[in-house]
Amino acid sequence: MFLENNTSERRRGWIEVICGSMFSGKTEELIRRLKRAQFAKQKVEIFKPTVDVRYDEEKVVSHQGNAIMSTPVPSSSNILLLANDVDVVGIDEAQFFDEELPSVCNALAERGIRVIVAGLDMDYTGKPFGPIPALMACAEFVTKVQAVCMRCGHLAYVSHRKTKSTDLVLLGETDSYEPLCRVCFNEAGAQ
Per-residue pLDDT of 88-145, as tens digits, reads 999 999 999 999 999 999 999 999 999 999 999 999 999 999 999 999 999 999 999 9
pTM score of the predicted model:
0.87
Q: What is the rounded average pLDDT for all residues in the chain?
A: 87
pLDDT confidence of residue 169 = 58
- Taking the C-alpha atoms of residue 151 and residue 68, their distance in angstroms, rounded to an integer, is 32
Q: Which of 93, 100, 173, 187 is catalytic?
A: 93
Instruction: Report the distance separating Cα 115 and Cα 104, nearest Å.
Output: 10
State yes or no: is 45 an active-site residue: no
Residue type, 181: C
Percent of the chain at pLDDT > 70 equals 82
> Do 127 and 8 contact (CB within 8 A), yes or no?
no
Q: Which domains does the chain have, with CATH numbers?
A: 2-146 (3.40.50.300)
Please give the full DSSP string across 94-108, using - where no structure is assigned: GGGS-TTHHHHHHHH
